[in-house]
Amino acid sequence: MTLTWHFLRVALGVVLLMGQALAAPVEVELVIYEVPELLWQAKFEGQFQEQPALKKRLDEEMQAGGLKQILAVKGAVAEDQPWIWRQGQEQEFAEGWETPEKPPAIPASRKKRFVGSAVELRHEGLTEGGRLLVSLKLEHHLNPPKMRRISYANAATGAEREKLSVEYPQFDQIEWVGKLAVWQQWRKVTSVLRLSGSEAGLGSAMRYVVFIKRL
pLDDT tens for the chain, 215 residues long, are 444 444 444 444 433 334 444 568 999 999 999 999 999 999 999 899 899 999 999 999 999 999 999 999 999 999 999 999 999 999 999 888 888 777 788 888 899 999 999 999 999 999 988 899 999 999 999 999 999 888 776 655 556 666 778 888 999 999 999 999 999 999 999 999 998 755 556 678 999 999 999 99
User: Distance between CA 210 and CA 30 in Å, rounded?
Assistant: 7
Residues 6+ apart with CB under 8 A from 169: 93, 145, 146, 147, 148
Could you give the CA distance from residue 70 to residue 33 in angstroms, rounded to a whole number?
6
Distance between CA 40 and CA 46 in Å, rounded?
Answer: 10
- Write down the pTM of the prediction: 0.80
Q: What is the pLDDT of residue 140?
A: 97
Please say whether the beta carbons of 137 and 120 come within 8 A. Answer: yes
HSE-up of 13 (CA within 13 Å, CB side)? Answer: 6
Contacts of 153 (CB under 8 A, 6+ apart): 160, 161, 164, 165
